[in-house]
Amino acid sequence: MSQVTRITAGQLIGEGDWIAVTEICRVCRIDAGAVHELAELGLVSPRGSAPAEWEFPASVLPRLRVVARLMRDLGVNASGAALAVELLEMRNELERRIRELERLVTERR
């Protein structure tokens, strides 16, 4: 069974770790209402029966940090930030695929 992790300065967390919503809010500097809205939009998938008890996989931290910065620094609403993050991730995936295809083409020459 995985444990819920409290993040401290310099602590390494693994992909299998789960983080409480209160820690997500503290680390990402985002309010719980925004996290709830992002979960409703399907950007993140918590476990737990009530929003106050939600836990998230550690793998969502980078995604939530970007969303939080968009919302906090640029005033983007949750829907816009979720869309922007999804588009950025799609762009990154396409760039990765292009690099892989370029590598394969170069190897065949």
Q: What is the pLDDT of residues 12-29, one digit of tens each?
A: 777 789 999 999 999 999
Fill in the amino acid letter for 2: S
What's the pLDDT score for residue 16?
82
Pairwise CA distance, residues 24 & 38, whole Å: 13
Question: Is residue 3 pLDDT above 60, yes or no?
Answer: no
The alpha carbon dihedral of 55, 61, 66, 72 has a sign of positive
- Render pLDDT for 39-78 as a digit per residue (tens, 0 to 9): 999 999 999 989 889 999 999 999 999 999 999 999 999 9
Pairwise CA distance, residues 98 & 19, whole Å: 34
Report CA-CA distances (Å) from 64 to 21, 26, 55, 71, 104: 11, 11, 13, 10, 34
